[in-house]
């Protein structure tokens, strides 16, 4: 199972990103590859690190904290991309560099209050529900500005942008639609917060569509580390 060539997978995914950037007339290397290592052993993260990968994404708070702690010596950048329970915020505040999935002010306040003073502000993206399904996480587009205002007032958090996980769809045109919707919300929010620089969108199956619509971080698990 773990007999997988992480280095060549990283090269292949990076090539796909570069091709999509070119197709979209975007600046080369303007899209960051976040390698989603959830459920995968630390040895595979070490292999990716040895191949030059620096940013890693995790979904489960305890697993994220344990891996960040075990791999401290590698100086990796850790991004949390899973649902956040309020009793798990402390570990995230002390071990993560980014949180992509903030959708409640209460959670943001806890992360702010628990962020150690000697660490840089925690980078934050708001998770937006762009597919409109009741069961999916994320705030509605109408709630984005209010939550952004609340986060901007918290000194140990730094609002960077928006994140979404659209319902899976087939075909690049269908895939582009929700990404464009997120980009439009982001453009509007930048009217108030021009310093925002992050659109976290795109996974293994739809990274090209996301890059065409302006993603600055793509979150890739399967195509880097293999099936889960």
Ligand X SMILES: *Cc1c(COP(=O)(O)O)cnc(C)c1O
Query: Which residues are near ligand X by CB under 6 A?
Result: 36, 38, 59, 81, 165, 203-205, 219-223
- Name the residue nearer to ligand X (CB basis): 137 or 145: 137
The answer to whether 64 touches 94, Cβ cutoff 8 Å, is no
- Name the residue nearer to ligand X (CB basis): 21 or 58: 58
3-state secondary structure of 6: helix
Residue 214 CA to residue 138 CA, distance in Å, equals 20
Residue 31 CA to residue 4 CA, distance in Å, equals 25
Give the DSSP H/E element, type plus range, for residue 108: helix 105-114
Q: What is the DSSP letter of 110?
A: H
- Name the residue nearer to ligand X (CB basis): 41 or 155: 41
Nearest CA to 147 out of 111, 94, 176, 121 is that of: 111
Q: How far is the CB of 198 from ligand X (least distance, A)?
A: 14
Output the residue with the shortest Cβ distance to ligand X.
221
Token digits of residue 72: 């401290």
Token digits of residue 205: 């199956």
- Name the residue nearer to ligand X (CB basis): 59 or 131: 59
- Name the residue nearer to ligand X (CB basis): 59 or 114: 59
Q: How far is the CB of 127 from ligand X (least distance, A)?
A: 9
Indicate left, alpha or beta for 62 from its phi (over 0: left) and psi (-120 to 50: alpha): alpha
- Name the residue nearer to ligand X (CB basis): 36 or 107: 36
3-state secondary structure of 99: strand
Q: How far is the CB of 228 from ligand X (least distance, A)?
A: 7
Q: How far is the CB of 85 from ligand X (least distance, A)?
A: 15
Nearest CA to 71 out of 46, 97, 39, 98 is that of: 46
Residues written for the chain: 228
**Terminal-to-terminal C-alpha distance of the chain:** 10
Q: How far is the CB of 147 from ligand X (least distance, A)?
A: 18
Q: How far is the CB of 118 from ligand X (least distance, A)?
A: 29
């Amino acid at each position: 199972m773990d007999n997988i060539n992480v280095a060549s997978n990283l090269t292949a995914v990076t090539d796909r990103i570069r091709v999509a950037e070119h197709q979209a007339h975007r600046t080369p290397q303007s899209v960051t590859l976040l390698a989603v290592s959830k459920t995968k052993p630390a040895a595979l993260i070490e292999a990716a690190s040895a191949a030059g990968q620096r940013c890693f994404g995790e979904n489960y708070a305890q697993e994220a904290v344990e891996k960040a702690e075990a791999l401290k010596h590698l100086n990796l950048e850790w991004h949390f991309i899973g649902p956040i329970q309020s009793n798990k915020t402390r570990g995230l505040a002390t071990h993560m560099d980014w949180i992509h999935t903030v959708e409640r002010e209460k959670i943001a306040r806890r992360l702010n209050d628990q962020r150690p003073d000697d660490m840089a502000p925690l980078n934050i993206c708001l998770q937006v529900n762009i597919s409109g399904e009741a069961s999916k996480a994320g705030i509605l587009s109408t709630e984005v500005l209010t939550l952004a205002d609340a986060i901007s007032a918290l000194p140990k958090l730094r609002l960077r942008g928006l994140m979404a996980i659209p319902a899976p769809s087939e075909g690049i045109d269908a895939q582009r639609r929700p990404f464009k919707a997120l980009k439009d919300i982001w453009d509007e929010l930048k009217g108030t917060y021009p310093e925002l620089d992050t659109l976290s969108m795109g996974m293994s199956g739809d990274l090209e569509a996301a890059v065409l619509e302006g993603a600055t971080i793509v979150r890739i698990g399967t195509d880097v580390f293999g099936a889960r």
